[in-house]
Amino acid sequence: QKEVEQNSGPLSVPEGAIASLNCTYSDRVSQSFFWYRQYSGKSPELIMSIYSNGDKEDGRFTAQLNKASQYVSLLIRDSQPSDSATYLCAVNSGDNFNKFYFGSGTKLNVKP
Amino acid sequence: SQTIHQWPATLVQPVGSPLSLECTVEGTSNPNLYWYRQAAGRGLQLLFYSVGIGQISSEVPQNLSASRPQDRQFILSSKKLLLSDSGFYLCAWSAGNQPQHFGDGTRLSIL
């Protein structure tokens, strides 16, 4: 099974700061990468997808992908207390089944 | 727009009892469907996936089974639950190789 590694945290940042979340993956076959946000007791919610090397920005979120280093990250600018959640990194299987493999998640705490 | 429904939201079952969790998707045809389990404080473990009616693949050996009797219906079952089957069960769908979207999940407790 593919390995997806994340620091479990918690990562604590003050309100208004930049939160940086990191993820590494083991299989070079993976072509698609995703970040999900999961509030306590809730199901994961997709926040970013990235498919090619470089940066992708969406509002306060920026995903960064480096396939050579097998590394994907998520930056959250101007962090808000409502961003406090667990962030899950997912990579796909690279085949027609589109299976996703998830990291164990990084817990983010944004302090007011 | 597409929606995914999962039920029940919570379930408490005794050890050895059967299980049936249901998931349905609306607003799309021939979706890929997935069952995951999340243990407390852990990531999501893929249990089963299906790319079409009657086509089920298992990712890990376990006490559970899955079925897809209709295009947009996915069922997770067990004949006899074990304590280790406790967890948060999530159904997800995707259109081809697009992102997966999750239902609200079922929290299963085994006593």
For chain A, positions 11-40, list CB contacts with chain B under 8 A: 32, 34
- Please give the pLDDT value at position B95: 92
State chain A's maximal CA–CA distance in angstroms: 44
Closest chain A residue to B59 measured between Cα atoms?
A1
Alpha carbon of B96: minimum distance to chain A alpha carbons (Å): 7
Distance of CA A48 to the CA centre of its chain: 8
Q: What is the pLDDT of residues B18-33, one digit of tens each?
A: 999 999 999 999 999 9
Contact A43 B104 (CB under 8 A): yes
- Please give the pLDDT value at position A64: 98
Contacts of A4 in chain B (CB under 8 A): 43
Q: Looking at chain B, how many residues does it have?
A: 111
- Residue B103 in contact with partner chain A when CB distance is under 8 A: yes
Burial of A8 (0-12, 13-18, 19+ CB in 10 A): middle
- Please give the pLDDT value at position A66: 95
- Please give the pLDDT value at position A1: 60
Tell me the CA end-to-end span of chain A in Å, nearest whole number: 39
Q: What is the pLDDT of residues B53-97, one digit of tens each?
A: 999 999 887 889 999 999 999 999 999 999 999 999 999 999 988
Distance of CA B12 to the CA centre of its chain: 16
- Per-residue pLDDT for chain A (112 aa), expressed as one digit of tens each? 678 999 988 999 999 999 999 999 998 788 899 999 999 999 999 999 999 999 999 999 999 999 999 999 999 999 999 999 999 999 998 888 889 999 999 999 999 9
Please check the confidence at residue B104 and state whether its pLDDT lies above 70: yes
For chain B, positions 2-31, list CB contacts with chain A under 8 A: none
Closest chain A residue to B103 measured between Cα atoms?
A43
Closest chain B residue to A42 measured between Cα atoms?
B104
Contact A97 B98 (CB under 8 A): no
- Residue B61 in contact with partner chain A when CB distance is under 8 A: no
Please check the confidence at residue B35 and state whether its pLDDT lies above 80: yes
